[in-house]
Amino acid sequence: MLRLALDATSLHGARTGVGVFTSELLVRLGQRPDLDVSAFAVTWRGRGKLVGLVPAGVRAVGGPMVAHPLRQCWRRADLPPIDWWIGEVDVVHGPNFVVPPSRRAARVLTVHDLTPWRFPALTNRAARAYPALVARAVRRGAWVHTVSRFVAEEVRDHLGVRPELVVTVPNGTSALPPCGPGTDAAAGRRLAGGQRYVLSLGTVEPRKGLPALVAAFDAVAAEDPDVRLVLAGPDGWGADALTGAVAAARHRDRIVRLGWVDDAGRAALLRGATVFAYPSRYEGFGLPPLEAMAAGVPVLTTTAGALPEVVGDAAALVPPDDPDSLAGELSALLADPERRLALVRAGRERLELFSWERCADGLVELYQRAESGL
């Protein structure tokens, strides 16, 4: 039985894309009879809370760890090893760029995108530390898991990782809560404050391109008096740019910022949306467009990064950082119910390519390769 330890720090707090990835993966790994799965968290503020966050079949292990000083140490040396906290295991997986050093275990790290390398101005301080941490782990023989072929090519080209140590296993799609009072389209429209709305979901940060979406919506709203724009997701860093864009919009009275919403609210908003917009400037995968497809909502996104690879022909695509193109495509979709329906049908077919079960199976194969050194 393979002994696996996975960094579950991202389960604390509001779930971002990495938190969803970690949560869904642990659920599937904890069900496998061929694995002994434990989870640890590199956090001081979240000490003692992990035991209530991990799914069945997964043990919470390790004591409190202070993230910043530990990562400073791990940038320079293989000390302290994670074994001091979690004991002896066969494989350690860092699902958020950072995999701690270990005395004996094979190591796997997940690279979701190369934003900290290619666009450091779009990241916060913690993310800007990733390149040095990844570089050291790779030099010490860590395997790199990527969530798309696009990121795999970037890792090989920009990070100099040996091709045989880079393995692509795509993300899956998460099931929405059952449809009912509080999670249905009617509940979403109540949250939005209107019957027709364009929805965007995700943490507010510069990489997501939300100011361009506000500008595009402002142009569309001048010709469409009933439509609203709903922005749901917690503020990350750089949220002031979005605040300024909303304040400058002529139709700001029809722009709704909800902040973080729970799973029920997220499902309701998706089910009630007329169009889902995801104007990312750079993306290593893109879970929210797949969520929208699962909810039966047409998707409008950009050609940035891995998005064309993920959505295929099941979404309308525009160049990133192009409010005029975004406005034109958004206006066309809002005015064309037949095209929206065609995208919804294509989206349902596209979803068949992505499942968390398939993701877990692919990662277990990677763990086995890493542990055996193949």
The reply to whether 349 and 359 lie within a common domain is: no
Q: Quick check: 232 pLDDT over 80? A: yes
Looking at the 3D structure of the chain, how many domains does it have? 2
Could you tell me if 20 and 142 lie in one domain?
A: yes
For the segment 145-181, what is each residue's pLDDT rounded down to a tens digit? 999 999 999 999 988 899 999 999 999 998 899 988 8
pLDDT the model gives residue 46: 79
Q: Which residue has the tokens 């023989």?
A: 141
What pLDDT is recorded for position 126? Answer: 84
Residue 10: both structure tokens together: 């991202």
Mean pLDDT over the full length of the chain = 94
Q: Which one, of 230, 196, 225, lies nearest residue 214 by Cα?
A: 230
345 and 209 inside one domain: yes
- Concatenated DSSP letters of 39-88: EE---STTTT-GGGTSPTTEEE------HHHHHHHHHH-S-S-THHHH--
Please tell me the predicted confidence (pLDDT) of residue 221: 96
Tell whether the model's pLDDT for residue 14 goes beyond 80. Answer: no
- Residue 93 located in a structural domain: yes
State whether 211 and 132 are in the same domain.
Answer: no
Same domain? For 127 and 208 the reply is no
Kindly state whether residues 199 and 145 are assigned to the same domain. Answer: no
Angle at 273 between CA 272 and CA 277, to 5 degrees: 155
Q: Token pair for residue 170?
A: 């795509």
Residues 291-317, mean pLDDT to the nearest whole number: 97
Residue 12 resides in a domain: yes
Q: Once rounded to an integer, what is the mean pLDDT over residues 198-215?
A: 94
Domain match, 162 and 190 both: no
pLDDT of 186-200, one tens digit each? 999 999 999 999 999
3-state secondary structure of 235: strand
- Distance between CA atoms of residues 304 and 326, nearest Å: 13
Residue 178 domain-assigned?
A: no
Q: Per the domain annotation, does 265 fall within a domain?
A: yes
Distance CA 100, CA 96 (A): 11
Under the banding of pLDDT at 50, 70 and 90, the label for residue 278 is very high
Q: Verify that 87 and 221 share a domain, yes or no.
A: no
The reply to whether 141 and 11 lie within a common domain is: yes
CATH number of domain containing 346: 3.40.50.2000
Residue 179, domain member (yes or no):
no
Residue 166 lies inside a defined structural domain of this protein:
yes
Inform me whether the pLDDT recorded for 15 exceeds 80. no
Residue 343 belongs to some domain of the structure: yes
Percent of the chain with pLDDT over 90: 83
Same domain for 22 and 167, yes or no, is yes
The single-letter DSSP state of residue 198 is: E
Can you give the residue range of the structural domain that contains 27? Answer: 2-172+355-372
Q: Are 237 and 166 in contact (CB under 8 A)?
A: no
> Would residue 165 be called left, alpha or beta, if left means φ above 0 and alpha means ψ between -120 and 50 degrees?
alpha
Give the confidence band of 119 by pLDDT, cuts at 50, 70, 90.
confident
pLDDT, one tens digit per residue, over 355-365 is 999 999 999 99
